[in-house]
Structure 1
Amino acid sequence: MASNSVAAAPKAGASPGAFRAIVEFIARHRVLAAIAVLAVLPFLTPYEALAVNILVFGLYAMGFNLIFGYAGMLSFGHAALFGLGAYGCGIPIAKFGIPWFAALPMGIAVAGIASVVIGWFAIRSRGIYFAMITLALSQVVYYSTYQWVSLTGGEDGLRGVNVPVINIFGLHLNMLNPLVKYYVLFALGAVAIALFSRILNSPFGGVLEAIRENEKRAMACGYDVARTRWLAFILSGLFSGFAGALYAIHLSVVPIETLNYFNSAEVLMITLLGGMGTFFGAFVGAYVYIMLQDVVTVVTVHWQLVIGTLFVVLILFFPRGIWGSLLKWVRP
């Protein structure tokens, strides 16, 4: 009996060890792991449209995480960049009949221009002042868009962003099929994920983290802190605008709520839930937040109270977020 219990001991510890190995593999091969998980995401959700939302908001949180998690700048104005990406892509399609493949970079460009302007003003401040400036400028964008009814649709939002079929290399992809739509957007998102990883692995990514840890020391080492912060904000805006453009194609409309400050708070919650400053955390946070929202709304109309309570509990006991806590456990 004793020998049997001794022999069983290694098996008891095999499961945690295997789990650690999986987490470590995902962390080391983050692009491959992210693409592999997102490739099967539609089969891990109740319906395909929910998977599209998780993909889009994961990309949005990924862009936001560049300045919040990696550069240490808290922005309350990213809804403006996400929303302008959506409007910048949706208006050419709905108003001028421009093909989606031309409208998509237009949406990214509009968000990029806005991030240049907002970032130029915001980087001159620090901490809560930075957050308040981004919030104030975001509200300027919101009310300007709200009042420009002839172009944006105002309170009713922009309608008619119809992309029913996409033709690629002779293939006719029916975008009215949620699964087909997901994999089209996933293919575009995979390029953005690989590019984001390349940015983090570059010397620029290292400078960002140096500024986050000790700005004065980075400045003493000769780095142009102001210019680096500005460039980080612009890059973050481009990724957020890309997510917004995909959101417009997904919904076929652009609600005015995409520019609302609540959308900035939402991406902050997603990033904190997943783990700020972690590559995979944006998608983990998006999955948990959107799945919880979908499940809880079936049970009660007070879903925000339930999710808010859970969010507070997670922040208190797992301040690194879900994925960040797993990484800490694997790499103590």
Structure 2
Amino acid sequence: MTSQTTPLAVPAAPVRAAGLAELMSAWRVPLVILALCLLPWMLPSQALAVNVLIYGTLAVGYNLLFGYTGLLSFGHAAFFGTGAYVTGIAIGQFGLPWFAAMALGVLAGGVLAVVIGALSIRTRGIYFSMVTLALAQLVYYVALQASGWTGGENGLRGFTVAAIDLPGWSIDILDPVNKYYVLMVFAALALWLVSRVLNSPFGAAIEAIRENETRARACGYDVERTKLLSFALSGLICALAGTLSALHLAIVPLDSLHYQTSGMIVMMTLLGGAGSFFGPFVGALAFLLMEDVVSLWTPHWQIFVGAVFVLFVLFLPKGIWGTALAWRSGR
């Protein structure tokens, strides 16, 4: 009798998908930067590309707290607006150079994040969200009343950075293409920082807290300190996005501190895919592109964007990029 052994079929597609996922994870920062380099030439205008860059960076900072640490904050507009206001005040009223003003803006946003984080991480769940919202609205009210510094309801005006002066080189950032690539350098630094954080033991700690805070505490993690540090890093990156917005617009509207801006950050993160590295930029692109296109048809574009957001929450909870990754890996 002749026995034949039938070889087992090897599922090549999942193996290839896993290999592609590992490759994308290892090269995620260069791949995102490459995509951002091409963005101004793929969108209807360079101004829209700059907005995607700024709000994508803002969503990246928020995603570190919400997507990777599992903390839903409704107050991140406070850090975005603080970075923008401090940068504008430093340039317009104190005459500081742009790089010093940006450094002060990031530092101020980081200090504010430490303060708000220290007060809010003592609570959990919806209480945490409400405390961050209340504290952020307090910052909004302070900016509204301090009209001598902030311009009050009219926002902060009277500062413009026309050129970035480097040793032996001056870059005209009134040109939208030049402005985009100058700001992209700072967005790339933020992406590199987030990638380093996620690849570190601290990154594993915040993901452990997201999955099961009680188990993380039982494993010996200092949960409160870890959450506070994550909150502070998130605030630093959001403040950086605010400084980029100030350089871009040469004004700081009071709405940059409003809770509607915080809600927009949450929507962008969820639309792209919370907990995914490239998702925040995809979400910012989708949100701003919908706003840009639909607002040409109707002034009530928020209704359309809100309906799309509800559909995503119900049927695509992983967002655009998260769903694409799940589909590619066969899950």
Aligned residue runs from structure 1 range 98-113, under 5 A: 98-113=96-111
Q: Percent identity?
A: 52
Q: Select which of 135, 141, 144 maps to 1:143.
A: 141
Distance 1:290 1:20 in 2: 32
Q: Select which of 318, 321, 328 maps to 1:320.
A: 318
Distance 1:25 1:292 in 2: 31
Distance 1:207 1:187 in 2: 29
Distance 2:130 2:198 in 1: 27
**Which residue in the other structure is 1:3 paired with?**
none
**Which residue in the other structure is 1:197 paired with?**
195
**Amino acid aligned to 2:114:** V
**Which residue in the other structure is 1:289 paired with?**
287
> Offset of 1:176 from its aligned partner?
0.8
Aligned residue runs from structure 1 range 265-304, under 5 A: 265-304=263-302
**Which residue in the other structure is 2:157 paired with?**
159
**Amino acid aligned to 1:199:** V
Q: Select which of 43, 46, 56 maps to 2:44.
A: 46
> Offset of 1:229 from its aligned partner?
0.5
**Amino acid aligned to 1:132:** M
Distance 1:31 1:223 in 2: 28
Aligned residue runs from structure 1 range 235-250, under 5 A: 235-250=233-248
- Give the alignment's TM-score, normalised by structure 1: 0.93
Corresponding residue SS for 2:171: strand
> Offset of 1:192 from its aligned partner?
1.3
Distance 2:135 2:154 in 1: 22
Is contact 1:54–1:287 with CA below 8 Å preserved after alignment? yes
- Over 3 Å counting, the alpha-carbon distance change for 1:239 and 1:119 in structure 2 is same
Determine which structure has the larger helix proportion and give its number: 1
Distance 1:198 1:46 in 2: 33
Corresponding residue SS for 2:220: coil
Is contact 1:23–1:326 with CA below 8 Å preserved after alignment? no
Corresponding residue SS for 1:167: strand
Give the aligned length. Answer: 318
Aligned residue runs from structure 1 range 5-20, under 5 A: none
Distance 2:327 2:25 in 1: 13
Corresponding residue SS for 1:158: coil
Q: Select which of 180, 192, 196 maps to 2:178.
A: 180
Corresponding residue SS for 2:93: helix
Corresponding residue SS for 2:71: coil
- Give the alignment's TM-score, normalised by structure 2: 0.93
Is contact 1:24–1:330 with CA below 8 Å preserved after alignment? no
Corresponding residue SS for 1:271: helix
**Amino acid aligned to 2:181:** Y
